[in-house]
Amino acid sequence: GYQKVITSPHVMSDFYRNSSETILTGLAEVRAELKVQNINMDIDAAAEYYIDYEFEQKIGKEKFLTFGDNYLLVELSFMEAPKTLLDIIFKLQLEGYKVVLAHPERYAYYEQEDYENFANRGVLLQINLLSLIGYYSPQIQKKTEQLISANQVSFVGTDCHNIHHAELYEKCHTKKAWHELVNSGTLLNSAL
């Protein structure tokens, strides 16, 4: 079972207008309710930052919510990567963040050599658990399996948006790729 939960609400200027303050306030409320319900669960919060112009303007001016050893979870547009992505990653690294790219398997515009380029630049990859069972598409499942086989996956996230997602997680643990990933030695989840 799960021993710790790290929530990572979206932060996106036009759609998810969360801030560090709103996320941490929500975390305090959830922790209080867990105590009331006598549920012993280690829970923390970070954020999943959408890389856009507004996000880039905050680099060096605002402290972002991270998890573990200063890991910063970022996501991109599903249509195309920002033209200045590598510059943004470099700026974040100069600020001391360890950049983690969320659901890289879902970016159709990236191929294997792009992931190798990210790895060479110190960017870690976090796949979605549901990608293992083809929830998003068979192509995304295949790309996930390729990332696992290439030992390029550092984290697994649930990307849980509703109860239906949670009901599917058990299926993921029966997949060969899941066992390959768990036994690969590349996963950092247990260190969180």
Segment 120-178, tens digit of pLDDT: 999 999 999 999 999 999 999 999 999 999 999 999 998 877 777 778 888 888 889 99
Query: pLDDT (tens digit, 9 = 90+) per residue, 9-52?
Result: 999 987 778 999 999 999 999 999 999 999 999 999 999 999 99
pTM: 0.93
Rounded to whole angstroms, the Cα distance separating 158 from 130 reads 7
Neighbours of 7 (CB within 10 A): 18
Which amino acid appears at position 141 of this protein?
Answer: Q
CATH code of the domain covering residue 130: 3.20.20.140
The confidence score (pLDDT) of residue 180 equals: 94
Alpha helices of the chain — where are they, by DSSP H?
20-36, 53-58, 85-94, 112-120, 138-149, 163-172, 176-182
The pairing of beta strand 48-50 with beta strand 98-102: unpaired
The answer to whether residue 35 is domain-embedded is: no
* Type of residue at 136: Y
Domain-embedded: residue 106: yes
- Cα–Cα distance for residue pair 59/106, rounded to 1 Å: 25
Report which of 186, 180, 172 is spatially closest to residue 2, judged by C-alpha positions.
172
In a domain, 128, yes or no: yes
| Residue 43 within a domain | no
Write out the residue range of the structural domain in which residue 122 sits: 48-191
Q: What is the pLDDT of residues 48-91, one digit of tens each?
A: 999 999 999 999 999 999 999 999 999 999 999 999 999 999 99
Tokens at 182, concatenated = 């768990």
- pLDDT score, position 1: 65
What is the tally of structural domains in the chain?
1
